């Protein structure tokens, strides 16, 4: 007699990061197995992908979000019930790197760290609401769980992306919310990415390249593991894992 098949676990994953930093490409390589040749800005899209994690089938519900600033207030609406956030940036774009801190942690995380429904960042502070733990304060987020930060990246030394760098930097600069020495056009070094991961309290840090199809599976495997490890926690615990990606 055949054993009843165990229903697969559902995990919600949300990809966030500057417009044009490579979220859709990363997801397309993972879900469809090919690198998309044309750039079409995403609004909000969901893909469902099955993955084997420790011998068990996991159903990933992956939300690809719009990176443009116009959607900054809409994006956090996709966070409730998420098991993991993938914070993405482009290794050739210092702006998208800075924006992981400047935009994603100062605005989106501010919303994440408040009870739902969250007040918008420019609304007056409500003293009855717990203050969010924002960088550089300790990496504590709702439920007290550590964040996960990964880093996906175009492998350096493999000639990836010279043609895309300018386009991406231009795109990202329109979204830039803060200045740093990285805006001189220098790519963030590996150590800087890891440092940033620590400063936002991420619990993992990965690099990958969508174009070269390197480490893409590992990013989502790691995301699934982290999300599963927080299952059974309350809703806020389940949205506290975040993951930073460079593509």
Ligand X SMILES: Nc1nc2c(ncn2[C@@H]2O[C@H](COP(=O)(O)OP(=O)(O)OP(=O)(O)O)[C@@H](O)[C@H]2O)c(=O)[nH]1
Q: Is 23 in the site for ligand X (CB under 6 A)?
A: yes
Residues in contact with 169: Cβ distance below 8 Å, sequence separation at least 6, in sequence order: 92, 93, 94, 95, 185
Return the beta strands (E) in 4-112 as ranges. 9-17, 45-53, 56-64, 84-89
Of the ranges 21-29, 113-121, 125-133, 194-202, which one interacts with ligand X (CB under 6 A)?
21-29
Q: Residue 157, Cβ neighbours under 10 Å: how many?
A: 5
Q: Which is nearer to ligand X, 38 or 128 (CB)?
A: 38
3-state secondary structure of 168: helix
Tell me which of 93, 99, 105, 209 binds ligand X, using CB under 6 A. Answer: 209
Give the total of residues touching ligand X (CB under 6 A).
22
Q: How far is the CB of 44 from ligand X (least distance, A)?
A: 10
Pick 5 or 40: Cβ nearer ligand X: 40
Among the listed residues 11, 58, 60, 66, the single contact to ligand X using CB under 6 A: 66
Residues 161 and 154: beta-carbon distance below 8 Å:
yes
Candidates 24, 102, 107, 242; binder of ligand X (CB under 6 A) is: 24
Applying CB under 6 A, the span of 78-86, 120-128, 153-161, 236-244 interacting with ligand X comes to 153-161
Phi-psi region of 2 (alpha: psi -120 to 50; beta: other; left: phi over 0): beta
Percent helix, strand, coil in the chain (nearest 5)?
Answer: 35, 15, 50
- Summarize as ranges the residues that interact with ligand X (CB under 6 A): 17, 19-25, 39, 41-42, 66-67, 154, 160-161, 164, 168, 209-211, 247
């Amino acid at each position: 007699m055949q054993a009843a098949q165990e229903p697969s676990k559902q995990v919600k994953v949300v990809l966030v990061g500057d417009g044009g930093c490579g979220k859709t490409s990363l997801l397309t390589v993972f879900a469809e197995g090919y690198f998309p040749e044309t750039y079409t800005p995403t609004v909000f899209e969901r893909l469902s992908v099955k993955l084997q994690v420790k011998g068990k089938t996991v159903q990933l519900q992956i939300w690809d979000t719009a990176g443009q600033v116009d959607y900054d207030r809409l994006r956090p609406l996709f966070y409730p019930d998420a098991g993991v956030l993938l914070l993405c940036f482009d290794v050739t774009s210092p702006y998208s790197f800075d924006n992981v801190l400047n935009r994603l942690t100062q605005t989106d995380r501010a919303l994440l760290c408040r009870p739902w429904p969250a007040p918008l960042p420019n609304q007056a502070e409500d003293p009855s609401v717990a203050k969010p733990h924002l960088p550089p304060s300790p990496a504590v987020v709702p439920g007290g769980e550590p964040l996960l930060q990964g880093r996906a990246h175009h492998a350096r030394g493999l000639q990836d992306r010279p043609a895309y760098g300018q386009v991406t930097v231009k795109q990202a600069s329109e979204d830039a919310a803060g200045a740093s020495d990285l805006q001189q056009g220098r790519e963030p070094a590996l150590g800087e990415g890891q440092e940033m991961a620590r400063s936002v309290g991420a619990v993992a840090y990965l690099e990958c390249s969508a174009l070269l199809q390197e480490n893409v599976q590992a990013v989502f495997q790691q995301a699934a593991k982290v999300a599963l490890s927080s299952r059974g926690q309350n809703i806020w615990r389940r949205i506290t894992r975040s993951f930073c990606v460079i593509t």
